[in-house]
Amino acid sequence: MDAGADLVVASGPHVLRGMEFYRHRPIAYSLGNFAGYHDFTSVGTLSLSGVLRVTLAEDGSSVTGRFLSLRLDGDGRPSPDASHGALHLVAVLSGRTSGAVPPGSPRRGRSGRPGADQAM
């Protein structure tokens, strides 16, 4: 962000990590594994993943964002997760210890961190 990035999506640890805003720009530290046919263990929190969709303004600031919770099946195939397990995990990892904010809530909590499975 300090060098000019408008959005950072990091990866590497094969698990979900938290999200935050820095200088009004979104950072997703890891979205987990999207798919991996028999490549990775997909039990417990290792089965949780997500899709992040962000719209940026011309100046690079975040306009809208959504996080869709996914769960990998035993073969490593992703599908939408009605229990929102990834949502809850990202919320906790992002410092939203009360868990997810309900749909229709403001884009960001007091901490500046996004809710998930709805607008950021």
pLDDT, tens digit, 9 for 90 and up, residues 40-89? 777 788 889 999 999 988 888 878 889 999 999 888 889 999 999 999 99
**This prediction's pTM:** 0.72
| Residue 54 neighbours by CB distance under 10 Å | 18
| Residue 35 neighbours by CB distance under 10 Å | 14
